[in-house]
Amino acid sequence: MAHGTARPAVSRRREIGQASARSLLMTILGEFVLPRGGPVWTQALVSALSLFGIEQKSARQALARTAAEGWLASQRVGRKVRWSLTPPGQRLLSEGAQRIYSFGRDEVAWDGRWLLLLVSVPESQRDLRHRVRSRLNWAGFGSPAPGVWVSPHPGRQAEARRILADAGLDQAALSFVAGYGQLGSQETLVARSWDLGALEQRYEDFIEEFTGLDPVTGEAALVAQTRLVHEWRRFPFLDPRLPARLLPENWSGAKAADLFHARHADWHPAAQRHWERLTAG
């Protein structure tokens, strides 16, 4: 995330309240439907979404949109309808689950080398520039100067090539893998390339939101678990996963990761039992 262009930090409570029905549906599908592999009745999904203030009409529209995108398939059984993940939907959610549940568990190893990309996009092609910038940001690259992108993960060169090839820029771009030189400092490079202050604030908001939460019923556990995963699933896309030696001291991302994995394990049994009750009824 380039310095100065980061999304402003906002309250987690406000953001979860504004979450779209479709976005929450995808979280519920990944957390509760995917592990079981079988179909689920419309009413169970509508009931689950109602716990977040999603009205029945909006919930049904979310199901229809998700099916139209190819992630769900419906089957009518008498007067009722049940939904199953399609093979593409299963792949999408399985890849997402792997990313979400493994994120933050391991320290990032680093041999001190940087991957540097030189990418020039004409000013007249603003849409293309925005698309390339967005995709490189999602891939964890930072931009210390116009047309320059850096990452402390040389292994992401193949991903960068795919992004630039899709944009028709791979033949014009240049890449280098090397150690940092003697001019300036790596701390300055990091500060110019990523807005770690905004990212740390998002981690602090996450910690504040979930540290004191203690669901005492099955329904509350299901809501808490869904909110927890829904909020955490953003971080693999926001955090460039810099090596520890490039991060500020007492980095909040490490504390947030420990909190996520601990809360997920604590709330999982009760949340899953309540989901079973919803689907049984």
Q: Would you list the domain boundaries of the chain?
A: 14-97, 113-179, 201-280
Burial class (CB in 10 A: 0-12, 13-18, 19+), 231: buried
Residue 275 C-beta-side C-alpha neighbours within 13 Å: 24
Q: Kindly state the tokens that stand for 216.
A: 């005492």
pLDDT tens-digit readout, 78-137: 989 999 999 999 999 999 898 899 888 777 789 999 999 999 887 788 889 888 988 898
For residues 173 and 60, give the distance between their C-alpha atoms in angstroms, rounded to a whole number. 45
Single-letter code of the amino acid located at 275? W
Q: What pLDDT sits at residue 120?
A: 86
Domain 14-97 listed as CATH 1.10.10.10: yes
Single-letter code of the amino acid located at 177? V
Domain 113-179 listed as CATH 3.40.50.620: no
pLDDT tens-digit readout, 57-68: 999 999 999 999
CA-wise closest residue to 104 among 273, 278, 234: 234
Q: What pLDDT sits at residue 125?
A: 86
Residue 165 has pLDDT above 70, yes or no: yes
Exposure letters 149-173 (e unless 16+ CB within 10 A, then b): bbbbbbebeebbeebbeebebeeeb
Q: Kindly state the tokens that stand for 263.
A: 């809360």
Three-state secondary structure call for residue 234: coil
Give the per-residue SS3 of 94-148: HHHHHHHHHCCCCCCCCCCEEEEEECCCCCCCHHHHHHHHHHHHHCCCEEEECCE
Q: Find how far residue 141's CA is from the centre of its chain.
A: 16
Q: What pLDDT sits at residue 36?
A: 93
C-alpha torsion 88→92→93→94, nearest 10? 90
Q: What pLDDT sits at residue 4?
A: 38
Q: State the residue for tokens 């699933």.
A: 233
Give Cα separations from 132 to 126, 164, 169, 189 (angstroms): 10, 7, 9, 21
Question: Strands 72-77 and 80-85: what pairing?
Answer: antiparallel
Q: CB under 8 Å to 84, separation ≥6 — which residues?
A: 38, 39, 40, 72, 73, 75
| pTM metric for this prediction | 0.81
Residue 15 has pLDDT above 80, yes or no: no
Residue 13 has pLDDT above 90, yes or no: no
